[in-house]
């Protein structure tokens, strides 16, 4: 849980940085590819090439393709159609996908986890429901693909690591995650990238470096390790904690208008969803006592 909270704080700045400095100025495919390459370089020295089960390698590769490759390509494209608050609004459905994917992989149905995710979705909706842009349908669909693949990737990584619990420390195999993302990001840049829209200022290069090394490299590793330590209901709720955090950053730094009352009420609702999951989800109790 602590890891998820730390990464939420780390990621709270990402949406605003992308929307304010990169969207429409830097080619989205190049932005994603640069993040993948930088994050891969962070873990390349630690990657174990021999003695890793083939199933584990493939599983982590696939989760990287989903959670980083496809997710971020769709996320960056959505900023061409949506404002930062709208992007945050449309990410509120990720918790529902987390619980549904987790139940599908485990061949079960967890009504409490789904209820907690639904309450969190309601809380985030209270925070960010306002007027929508004309292109909201396209942006909405792009973000739903991003939401689903992000959910499937983090749940999938958790299941892979549960299947190979004693194989290796997580940091020795997480490089495969970014290699999987590279399988998606590199062809996308080669096919759809615009060489005329590469970063042109030190600020843009610096933001990409921070997003690649910190937000992606360190952030995704800590997030996925944290996901392995909590149940699906808590993981689903923490996916929505980014909404109030991202809005606070957008408000305090870039002075965007926000309804503070709705922000407070929505935050209370999201907190209540955490309590519901911890109180009534049987697997949440097991995790909390371990």
Q: For residue 258, give every residue at least 6 positions away whose Cβ sits within 8 Å of its Cβ, in sequence order, or none.
A: 85, 247, 250, 251
Cβ atoms of 30 and 197 within 8 Å: the answer is: yes
pLDDT for res 168: 80
pLDDT in tens, 73-85: 999 999 888 877 7
Q: What is the mean pLDDT of residues 19-45?
A: 93
* Banded model confidence at residue 287, pLDDT cuts 50, 70, 90: very low
pLDDT for res 131: 59
Q: Kindly state the DSSP code that residue 201 receives in the 8-state scheme.
A: S
**Euclidean distance between CA atoms 246 and 38, whole angstroms:** 23
Q: What percent of the chain has pLDDT over 90?
A: 43
- In this predicted structure, the answer to whether residue 224 has a pLDDT above a threshold of 60 is yes
Q: Which two tokens mark 66?
A: 């989903």
Q: Which two tokens mark 235?
A: 């993981």
Q: What is the mean pLDDT of residues 216-231?
A: 90
For the chain, the 3-state helix, strand and coil shares in percent, each to the nearest 5, are 80, 0, 20
pLDDT for res 290: 36
Of the candidate ranges 81-85, 216-220, 284-288, the one whose mean pLDDT is the lowest? 284-288
Q: Kindly state the DSSP code that residue 198 receives in the 8-state scheme.
A: S
* Banded model confidence at residue 236, pLDDT cuts 50, 70, 90: confident
Q: What percent of the chain has pLDDT over 70?
A: 90
| Most confidently modeled range among 131-140, 180-189, 222-231, 275-284 | 180-189
**Euclidean distance between CA atoms 152 and 144, whole angstroms:** 12
- In this predicted structure, the answer to whether residue 25 has a pLDDT above a threshold of 70 is yes
- In this predicted structure, the answer to whether residue 115 has a pLDDT above a threshold of 50 is yes
- In this predicted structure, the answer to whether residue 176 has a pLDDT above a threshold of 90 is yes
pLDDT for res 261: 79
Q: Which two tokens mark 201?
A: 């200022």
Q: For residue 228, give every residue at least 6 positions away whose Cβ sits within 8 Å of its Cβ, in sequence order, or none.
A: 157, 158, 161, 162, 170
pLDDT for res 281: 62
pLDDT in tens, 50-69: 889 999 999 999 999 999 99
- In this predicted structure, the answer to whether residue 218 has a pLDDT above a threshold of 50 is yes
Q: What does the mean pLDDT of the chain come to? A: 84
CB atoms within 10 A of CB 131: 8
**Euclidean distance between CA atoms 200 and 47, whole angstroms:** 33
- In this predicted structure, the answer to whether residue 119 has a pLDDT above a threshold of 80 is yes
Task: Tell me which residue has tokens 């997710």.
Answer: 71
Query: Is the pLDDT higher at 255 or at 183?
Result: 183
Write out the DSSP string of 30-76.
HHHHHHHHHHHHHHGGG---SS--HHHHHHHHHHHIIIIIIHHHHHH
- In this predicted structure, the answer to whether residue 289 has a pLDDT above a threshold of 50 is no
pLDDT for res 288: 41
Of the candidate ranges 8-12, 269-273, 277-281, the one whose mean pLDDT is the lowest? 277-281
């Amino acid at each position: 849980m602590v890891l998820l909270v730390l990464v939420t704080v780390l990621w709270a700045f990402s949406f605003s940085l992308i929307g304010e400095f990169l969207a429409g100025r830097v080619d989205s495919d190049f932005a994603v590819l640069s993040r993948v390459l930088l994050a891969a370089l962070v873990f390349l020295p630690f990657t174990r090439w021999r003695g890793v089960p083939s199933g584990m390698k493939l599983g982590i590769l696939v989760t990287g393709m989903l959670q980083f490759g496809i997710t971020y390509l769709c996320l960056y494209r959505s900023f061409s159609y949506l404002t930062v608050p709208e992007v945050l609004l449309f990410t509120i459905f990720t918790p529902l996908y987390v619980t549904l994917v987790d139940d599908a992989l485990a061949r079960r149905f967890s009504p409490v986890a789904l209820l907690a995710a639904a309450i969190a979705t309601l809380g985030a909706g209270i925070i960010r429901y306002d007027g929508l842009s004309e292109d909201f349908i396209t942006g909405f669909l792009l973000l739903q693909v991003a939401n689903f693949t992000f959910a499937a990737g983090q749940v999938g990584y958790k299941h892979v690591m549960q299947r190979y619990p004693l194989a290796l420390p997580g940091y020795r195999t997480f490089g495969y995650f970014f290699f999987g993302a590279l399988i998606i990001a590199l062809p996308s840049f080669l096919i759809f990238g615009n060489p005329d829209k590469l970063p042109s200022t030190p600020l843009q290069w610096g933001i990409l470096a921070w997003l690649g090394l910190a937000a992606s490299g360190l952030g995704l590793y800590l997030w996925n390790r944290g996901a392995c330590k909590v149940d699906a209901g808590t993981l689903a709720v923490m996916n929505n904690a980014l909404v109030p955090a991202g809005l606070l950053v957008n408000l305090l730094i870039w002075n965007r208008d926000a309804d503070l009352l709705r922000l407070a009420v929505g935050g209370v609702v999201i907190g209540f969803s955490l309590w519901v999951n911890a109180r009534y989800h049987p697997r949440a109790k097991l995790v909390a006592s371990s």
